[in-house]
Amino acid sequence: MKIKVLSLFPEILEAYFSASIMKRAVAKGLVSYELVDIRDYAYDRHRKCDDEVFGGGAGMLMKPEPLDRALEAAGSPALRTIYVTPSGRLFNQAMAADFAREENLVILCGRYEGIDQRIIDTRVTDEVSIGDYVLSSGEVAAMVVVDAVYRLIPGVISGESLAEESFSSGLLEYPQYTRPEEYATMHVPEVLVSGNHAAIARWRLKASLVKTLAYRPELLHTIDLSSELGRLLKEVIDGGGENEPRTADSGGTGADRPARI
Ligand code: ADE
């Protein structure tokens, strides 16, 4: 996949693209990237990229001309072009998977109060928000989108890791433990050291349901209550037995951890 990111501050993004798993993906040829300085496409000698808002209002808007030229050069809108903005569609794992199927992605980072609507109308294919809060820089949101997307490209990370993580099954991931088996008087749930793979799988599924019910109940609305998963959910709601997952035992989430079930 080739990723082009257009920004007024490309240096913010450079560190991200040249470290860790992304660095390895680039070295393997799975990802290539280009960071475009929008100011290089400004007309005047001051390289002005913003202006006041017609109709009044606080702050400045990014001007259409430099953006139009930069996006034209990047191949938009023929290539999938994402504008990261708090007024976009809420980003999720399904959108990340959809973007990961593209050969090319163009990502536009906004600054100030946003960008001229005519650029959105003519060059942008997807307006994407990463959450219901406002960031001071689109670069941070662009990194979130790139990170969620490129790791889904085959070969970047192991398929097993992807299959097991939160959201891949529509549920939050179950609690996990490593050695030592007893730490500060806290024990790893017995079933996880039993070697009984069927019992472990059942415990994990139920633990995922416990956690999802506590933190993200809206994710459970599509579960068919007459299905196997639905029956398990009913068991979770009705209360578990001796060896059932109790998320509070997993520690880590502090005062707002899910209630014991
Ligand atoms: N830019 C500023 N805030 C943002 C958000 N929540 N999502 C995407 N881009 C943004």
Q: What's residue 250's pLDDT?
A: 46
pLDDT (0 to 100) of residue 251: 43
Given 160, 177, 193, the domain boundary residue is 160
256 falls within a domain = no
Domain residues for the domain of 11 are 2-160
**Residue in 134, 137, 143 to alter for ligand 1 test, most ligand atoms within 8 A of Cβ:** 134
Atom from ligand 1 closest to the CA of residue 132 = 6
Ligand 1, atom 2: closest residue by C-alpha: 135
With respect to residue 170, please indicate whether it lies within any of the assigned structural domains: yes
Which numbered atom of ligand 1 lies nearest the CA of 138? Answer: 1
Which residue puts its alpha carbon closest to atom 7 of ligand 1?
129
Looking at the fold, whether 172 and 215 belong to one and the same domain comes out as: yes
Distance in Å, CA 148 to ligand 1 centroid: 15
Residue whose CA is at the smallest distance from ligand 1 atom 4: 86
Task: Copy the structure tokens of residue 136.
Answer: 């001071």
Which pLDDT belongs to residue 255?
37
Residue 125: its pLDDT value, please?
A: 98
Domain check: are 222 and 169 in the same one?
Answer: yes
Query: Within this chain, do residues 172 and 138 fall inside the same structural domain, yes or no?
Result: no
pTM of the model: 0.89
Residue 258 counted as domain residue:
no
CB-CB neighbours of 49 under 10 Å:
24
Predicted confidence (pLDDT) per residue in 166-203, tens digit = 887 889 999 999 999 999 999 999 999 999 999 999 99
- State the Cα–Cα distance between residues 120 and 135, nearest whole angstrom: 19
Express each pLDDT in 22-47 by its tens digit: 999 999 999 999 999 999 999 889 99
Largest CA distance in the chain: 73
Q: How far is CA 90 from the centre of its chain?
A: 10
Measured from CB, residues less than 6 Å from any atom of ligand 1 are: 84-86, 110, 129-131, 133-135, 138, 141
Q: Of the candidates 92, 102, 94, which has an alpha carbon nearest to the alpha carbon of residue 144?
A: 92
Give me the CATH number covering residue 85: 3.40.1280.10
Place 241 in a pLDDT band, splitting at 50, 70 and 90.
Answer: low
Q: Which of 90, 120, 129 to mutate to test the pocket of ligand 1 (most atoms within 8 A of CB)?
A: 129
* pLDDT for 260: 45
Q: Is residue 135 domain-shared with residue 169, that is, in the same domain?
A: no
pLDDT of residue 248: 44
Asked if 225 and 181 count as a contact pair (C-beta separation under 8 A), the reply is no
**Dist. CA 92 → ligand 1 center (Å):** 14
Domain count for the chain: 2
Q: Domain check: are 134 and 243 in the same one?
A: no
